[in-house]
Amino acid sequence: MTTEVDSASEVKKESDQLGADTAKENPKETAENQQNQSSEPSPMAESQSSPRRRQKREKDSSEGRGISRFIPPWLKKQKSYNLVVAKDGGDKKEPSDAVVEEQILDKEESLPEEERQAKGDAEETAQRKQQEIKVAVKEERPSVSSAETQPVEVKKERNEEKVKEIAEDKSEEAAKRETKEVQTNELKAEKISQKTIKKTKTVQCKVILLDGTEYSCDLEKRAKGQVLFDKVCEHLNLLEKDYFGLLFQESSEQKNWLDSAKEIKRQLRNLPWLFTFNVKFYPPDPSQLTEDITRYFLCLQLRQDIASGRLPCSFVTHALLGSYTLQAELGDYDPEEHGDNDLSDFQFSPTQTKELEEKVIELHKTHRGLSPAQADSQFLENAKRLSMYGVDLHHAKDSEGVDIKLGVCANGLLIYKDRLRINRFAWPKILKISYKRSNFYIKVRPAELDQFESTIGFKLPSHRAAKRLWKVCVEHHTFYRLVSPEQPPKAKFLTLGSKFRYSGRTQAQTRQASTLIDRPAPHFERTSSKRASRTLDGDTVGVVDESLMKDRPGPGGQVSAYGPGVVSIAIIQDGDGRRDARIPTKGPQVQLIEGKRKGDHLFKDVLSMKEKYLMASSRTVEEKAQEADKSLEEEITSILFSENGFSANLKATFTSATTWTAEGTVVNYNVPEKLSSWPSSQSSEKRAPESEGPYTGASDAVKSSHETLNIVEEKKQAEVGKDERVIPEEMNGKEISPGSGPGETRKVEPLTQKDSTSLSSESSSSSSESEDEDVGEYRPHHHVTEGTIKEEQEEYEKEVDEEPGQAAKVVEREETVPEASLVKQAGASVTTVDTVIQENVVTLKIPAEKSINEGVVKQDMREETEDEQHKVNGEVSHVDIDVLPQIICCSEPPVVKTEMVTISDASQRTEISTKEVPIVQTETKTITYESPQIDGGAGGDSGTLLTAQTITSESVSTTTTTHITKTVKGGISETRIEKRIVISGDADIDHDEALAQAIREAREQHPDMSVTRVVVHKETKMEEGDE
């Protein structure tokens, strides 16, 4: 069924074909993979040839995508990753090329670095991981790790060869390539090893750990923060490390977080290499941490916080927490052993009194029988409820010069005056965070009755303080609110501002990864910082080894080929995105852990289906757990929705969202209008006179749409997550964040929806890398684009670009693509009804500033005026995506080789089927009924958007997507509700009846509004689809 197709869908069709090809090739490839992985064969040949093929292929097709079918799945993943790595060479246009190169270089590095891995330096990025696997396959004995020189050399030779080959290829193909890397390649192996020697300057670092002990290690001078952080975590045997970070003292007043993506040296400037290891993101619910050891470190941090007064608590709480500390560290109370005296070793509060100690002892006696881990858990359960738990305070002055404090926390920004909270901006309320010189600004959504968003400024003590606050905000927002990190803004020529973005894992990601932790609970010793000065020995063998190795910065050839020297190679070669090779040296378990710990996505193909499901289900469990915690928010939301006539089903859909909302904590103190949503009340009563709020009916919904909108966003995210479709996004987001421009990514991952994000952040991008940016902007909005298809996104972008003035203002982009979102291709026919209900005049053109609206409207117009075909495509392909489980960002050790085959197969098929759209022959018909007044809207100038809201609900045979937008134009406010109802089902559904019903319902739901347009789009299946 093909008729007219607009450009977007054309592109898609093309890729469809490619996809189909891929499908055919898939089995073959699978076989290859199997060979490759199941055991040793000659992976060399394999990996050599495949790059070449790829490159050739690339000539024909500029779009990297078609190539993918030649690439074994693992490589394919790497492709996107490499772009990241190649950030420095802004020009990289040939992903596959880059891949090849990277890979080889990696191999080079990886050899000697095996040791490092053992030590736990870790920058285990997904790429690395893949690297590991590869190497392992090659050597056919991953365990070879430690002092084996032989295999290393062999490998090296091979690598040399490869490098040469590629260099050739490149000279033909990769003209645009970034020079640094190319050169490096051409240097060939010998030179590289020379460099190794040259670059092995190391610096000694000291890190004060949470238990007060000191960890020191030697670091290559140009090492990035991540290297040190990973080393420390390895030393601590800590897997759930995303909650932690390293601080360095910039001045007596200021401490800064070490940015793991940047070189340590550049951040420290001339400061000593001295750090403290601290909790950076306090888990809102510590019980959800997977490992006791993580909780233990959190406890240590909190004890510090309490003793220092950063975390204020009452006398009773001091005593209670102190008693749990005693229980955890001393065990059950023993009157003989625990006389009154030894408590002076502990500090339970900033000012410790005898009275407090007595109370502590008294409570300690009541904890008899609690294990240390249980005591820690109890400690955390109580500590997490303290109001200042996890609040990072910054001194500032408000616009009137009054001293206040800004507290950054999981939920948003808190404003304190003295000890009193005087204001609060939840993340969903904040549209933009920026700083300029020593001023820090937040732009917040308009309050309910306001028209305009307001910007609130604060004066920080210094420029650096402002920047630090800004960064902390960006990081917290990303960590707690987003599913995956946003990519840094595209570097634009001649723009200013910080490009900084949080590049670590988000809470969602780290939790997900944690569910995979599968090691016996590590043994660790609980010691109070004040009492024990533990030595570093006896901890990790790796540490010891490391220091030994460090002393011998030999070239890669001897034992210390594994030594640190290698690191420098990596740096040289990769420029920015250096990844440390990590080769399994510690035996399978270590690998396993690593796989889980980091990027894993490269490995995602490796995951067996079973595991996928496992993960899915574990997630569900989590969700369930949190459901208990479910806030009113959900209830309100759903009721609000149902008030608007959505099916009750909705709620079911939304429950899953709890995962994110529970912690993300949109505060949902519901405002009175929502009272109606009071759970125990019946909806009929809601509007009973005595409980009537100031607003009624639909306007109610609109009024609260700020919050609601966000809720919806979150929910969507969660849903997507559940579909596991989000995963590619996540990975992308994450990997890309270190560096590559978003544009490149787009090419590589056409299905990536996250890309749209870049749009909104573009205006704040900067080409300046320096630490001294004067300004920075961050628009803390996640862009949930469920089911948005890449081509469409690009279209949007263009639209926005055409209006540069406005584009700069784009605050939030929500690309809601109704036809793609929730259409269930259930039966033989699909009927789409667009009902537009309006109050006053409809403006079809709405300022780009709120492109939620724009998206909707434009799309709408396009649909009406243009191709139906496109729509059909969109739907179908999307459904396919929906259905297919894509993977998760967790990897498994190479042990799973056979499964790897299976999966890669599966995941490939995913893409294929995505493309094989026209399975169903359909007849499409579109009828538009429109009341005359609507026309005015199209050309009319845009009003100010007040609120916009998108709601989706689903029932057995219908899917309803509703956009409610409220705009103000010339003093007249108008509310426009646009409903898309998709009725799907086979013959037993009377579509006409259903349609009539839908329109009737729409009328009933909004009696005070008029239906201005009805678009009926009907597709009827004509015959069985042929495959």
Partner 1 sequence: MGTPGEGLGRCSHALIRGVPESLASGEGAGAGLPTLDLAKAQREHGVLGGKLRQRLGLQLLELPPEESLPLGPLLGDIAVIQGDTALITRPWSPARRPEVDGVRKALQDLGLRIVEMGDESATLDGTDVLFTGREFFVGLSKWTNHRGAEFVADTFRDFAVSTVPVSGPSHLRSLCGMGGPRTVVAGSSEAAQKAVRAMAMLTDHPYASLTLPDDAAADCLFLRPGLPGVPPFLLHRGGGDLPNSQEALQKLSDVTLVPVSCSELEKAGAGLSSLCLVLSTRPHS
Task: Sort residue 1016 into left (φ over 0), alpha (ψ -120 to 50) or beta.
Answer: beta
Decide if residue 680 touches partner 1 (CB under 8 A).
yes
Decide if residue 418 touches partner 1 (CB under 8 A).
yes
Decide if residue 668 touches partner 1 (CB under 8 A).
yes
Per-residue binder mask for partner 1 (CB under 8 A), 868-907, x = binder? ----------------------------------------
Quick one: CA torsion of 5, 9, 10, 13, rounded to 10 degrees?
A: -120
Residues 794, 817: contact at Cβ < 8 Å? no
Decide if residue 312 touches partner 1 (CB under 8 A).
yes
Where do we find the tokens 């239906």? 1011
Residue 841 CA, distance from chain mean position: 40
656 vs 677, which CB is nearer to partner 1?
A: 677
Residues 240, 510: contact at Cβ < 8 Å? yes
Interface residue with partner 1 among 44, 536, 667, 919 (CB under 8 A) is 667
Decide if residue 269 touches partner 1 (CB under 8 A).
no
Decide if residue 690 touches partner 1 (CB under 8 A).
yes
274 vs 632, which CB is nearer to partner 1?
A: 632
Interface residue with partner 1 among 27, 587, 694, 970 (CB under 8 A) is 694
Q: How far is the CB of 846 from partner 1 (least distance, A)?
A: 27
Least Cα distance to 666 among 712, 716, 711, 717 occurs for: 711
Q: Compute how many other C-beta atoms are within 10 angstroms of the C-beta atom of residue 827.
A: 15
Alpha-carbon span 546 to 218, nearest angstrom: 9
Structure tokens at 922: 């359909």
Alpha-carbon span 335 to 920, nearest angstrom: 79
Alpha-carbon span 784 to 1012, nearest angstrom: 29
Sheet containing 944-954: order of strands: 921-930, 1010-1023, 829-838, 972-985, 958-969, 944-954
Q: What is the DSSP letter of 311?
A: S
Alpha-carbon span 456 to 452, nearest angstrom: 13
Q: Which stretch binds partner 1 (CB under 8 A): 412-420, 489-497, 593-601, 875-883?
A: 412-420
Q: How far is the CB of 473 from partner 1 (least distance, A)?
A: 17
Burial of 274 (0-12, 13-18, 19+ CB in 10 A): middle
Q: How far is the CB of 415 from partner 1 (least distance, A)?
A: 9
Q: How far is the CB of 615 from partner 1 (least distance, A)?
A: 29
Q: Where are the alpha helices (DSSP H) in 334-439?
A: 354-365, 372-383
Where do we find the tokens 């973005």? 501
Interface residue with partner 1 among 352, 608, 618, 681 (CB under 8 A) is 681
Decide if residue 670 touches partner 1 (CB under 8 A).
yes
Q: Which stretch binds partner 1 (CB under 8 A): 17-25, 256-264, 324-332, 632-640?
A: 632-640
51 vs 390, which CB is nearer to partner 1?
A: 390
Q: How far is the CB of 293 from partner 1 (least distance, A)?
A: 25
Q: How far is the CB of 409 from partner 1 (least distance, A)?
A: 8
- 205, β-bridge pairs: 217
Decide if residue 702 touches partner 1 (CB under 8 A).
no
Interface residue with partner 1 among 271, 496, 632, 883 (CB under 8 A) is 632
449 vs 494, which CB is nearer to partner 1?
A: 449
Interface residue with partner 1 among 272, 350, 587, 672 (CB under 8 A) is 672
170 vs 715, which CB is nearer to partner 1?
A: 715
Interface residue with partner 1 among 541, 621, 688, 808 (CB under 8 A) is 688
Interface residue with partner 1 among 316, 541, 548, 648 (CB under 8 A) is 316
Interface residue with partner 1 among 24, 141, 368, 385 (CB under 8 A) is 385
Residues 6 or more apart whose Cβ sits within 8 Å of residue 379: 299, 302, 321, 324, 325, 328
Widest CA span of the chain, in angstroms? 91
288 vs 681, which CB is nearer to partner 1?
A: 681
Q: Using DSSP, state whether 454 is helix, strand or coil.
A: strand
Residues 966, 959: contact at Cβ < 8 Å? no
70 vs 324, which CB is nearer to partner 1?
A: 324
Q: Using DSSP, state whether 967 is helix, strand or coil.
A: strand
Q: Where are the alpha helices (DSSP H) in 737-867?
A: 742-748, 756-762, 790-802, 804-807, 818-821, 851-865
Decide if residue 684 touches partner 1 (CB under 8 A).
no
- The residue count for binding partner 1 (CB under 8 A) is 48
Alpha-carbon span 983 to 1005, nearest angstrom: 18
Expressed in angstroms, the distance from the first to the final Cα of the chain is 13
Q: How far is the CB of 946 from partner 1 (least distance, A)?
A: 17
52 vs 687, which CB is nearer to partner 1?
A: 687
Q: Compute how many other C-beta atoms are within 10 angstroms of the C-beta atom of residue 270.
A: 5
45 vs 420, which CB is nearer to partner 1?
A: 420
Decide if residue 398 touches partner 1 (CB under 8 A).
no
Which amino acid does the sequence have at 333? Y
Decide if residue 327 touches partner 1 (CB under 8 A).
no
Per-residue binder mask for partner 1 (CB under 8 A), 440-459, x = binder? --------x-----------
Decide if residue 914 touches partner 1 (CB under 8 A).
no
Q: How far is the CB of 619 from partner 1 (least distance, A)?
A: 23
Decide if residue 613 touches partner 1 (CB under 8 A).
no
Interface residue with partner 1 among 197, 208, 675, 883 (CB under 8 A) is 675
Structure tokens at 459: 């004066």
Burial of 675 (0-12, 13-18, 19+ CB in 10 A): middle
Residues 899, 608: contact at Cβ < 8 Å? yes
- 257, β-bridge pairs: 247
Q: Which stretch binds partner 1 (CB under 8 A): 50-58, 162-170, 229-237, 382-390?
A: 382-390
Residue by residue, what is the 3-state secondary structure of 243-281? HEEEEEECCCCCEEECCCCCEHHHHHCCCCCEEEEEECC
Decide if residue 671 touches partner 1 (CB under 8 A).
yes
Decide if residue 393 touches partner 1 (CB under 8 A).
no
Decide if residue 61 touches partner 1 (CB under 8 A).
no
387 vs 462, which CB is nearer to partner 1?
A: 387
Interface residue with partner 1 among 419, 537, 684, 988 (CB under 8 A) is 419
Alpha-carbon span 498 to 469, nearest angstrom: 13
Interface residue with partner 1 among 301, 325, 411, 806 (CB under 8 A) is 411
Q: Which stretch binds partner 1 (CB under 8 A): 81-89, 419-427, 752-760, 938-946?
A: 419-427
Decide if residue 617 touches partner 1 (CB under 8 A).
no
State the DSSP H helix or E strand holding residue 299, giving kind and residue range, or none if neither.
Answer: helix 292-308
315 vs 929, which CB is nearer to partner 1?
A: 315
635 vs 819, which CB is nearer to partner 1?
A: 635
Residues interacting with partner 1, by CB under 8 A? 312-317, 320, 382, 385-387, 411, 417-424, 448, 631-633, 635-636, 665, 667-672, 674-675, 677-681, 685, 688-694
